[in-house]
Structure 1
Amino acid sequence: MTNKTHSMVSEKKLLYRVQAHKDAEAFGRLYDTYIEKIYRFVYVKLSNHTDAEDITHDVFLKVWQYLTQNPQKRIASVSGLFYTTARNTIVDVYRKRAKQQVVPIEEGYGVPEECRMQKIDTKMEVETILVHVKKLKEEYQDIILLRYIEGYSLKEAAQILDKKYTHTRVLLHRAMKKLQEIINV
């Protein structure tokens, strides 16, 4: 059994414990597995650490409520549930208020200047690309974030997005082509 398969089986067991027994410890393990991924996904969409933290908190609260209030509901993909909830929560935020742009200032005390500069250069490159990604339509943003930021395979991204594998592959190709056009303008 591969690590990924073992992980999926383990997640299904945790999911069962949460749904059947409202097991907070089992949900805590799911939380530990997904907190960084969901936070990163939300942050890339909102570009605001405070909002990303709040939304990430809301996502986990909504997933807990959904699972404990729907114990008979079959969940095909645990990661799909988290990402779909995150995406829907972000849409709710967009509807409620305009997106705020805040650039955080991070202090680097105790870190050698060379390491700090390299970290800043890398961060600036990623942020520059993300600025362009945000110009894409929503479904293009989602596939690029899942594939290249979160590192999901195309098959996993297809499950999360609830799309067929071939459609997801075409979607990624089109998204990358459009991103390249935007960057080269």
Structure 2
Amino acid sequence: MEVTMLSDAEVLKNSQTSPWMFGILVDRYEEAFIRKGEYVLRSREDAEDAVQDTFLKIYKYASKFSERKNASFQSWAYKILTNTCYTHLSKKMKEIARTQMLDFAELDVVNGLDNSEEGNRSSVAQSILLRLPERLSRLLSLYFFEDKSYAEIADVEHISISAVRSGLHRAKKQFKELGVEIS
């Protein structure tokens, strides 16, 4: 039988003993994975990194895959891709939170600090962001650093717009409380 006629699950299984066969799956899915990754990460370079990590995970965990009635190789692989993209996005947001200053005029938090102390304001903001729960820090980063609308954040985070609104409210409230604690 010609290898290109094999199902994805069969190719994955055979790649355990013939690693060259894994290249067939890469050929079949790489471009589609990159498009999905670009949609989530908004960067082709980041998407390519996430796709490479995804293929490594698929190969590493190939022995754990078992095709079920409602779960195909494709759905399993896309789940790994999605999780990998969100892990990359989370790391990217944490890096942004560490390197950029939050828009204090919008949050109205560090008004007690002298305006000439910009460096101090930045340090305080970064310190506060790192103390917030990851989800709340990510919401603030998307809203303030990337200027995302509530609808865009809802799409990226796979939550409703009202959940974005309440999450941002909670995040701002905790940010303010932590800001008062620090100053």
TM-score of the two chains, using structure 2 as the length reference: 0.46
TM-score, normalised via structure 1 length: 0.46
In our comparison, the structure showing a higher alpha carbon Rg is 2
Determine which structure has greater relative contact order: mean sequence separation of CA pairs < 8 Å that are 6+ residues apart, divided by chain length.
1
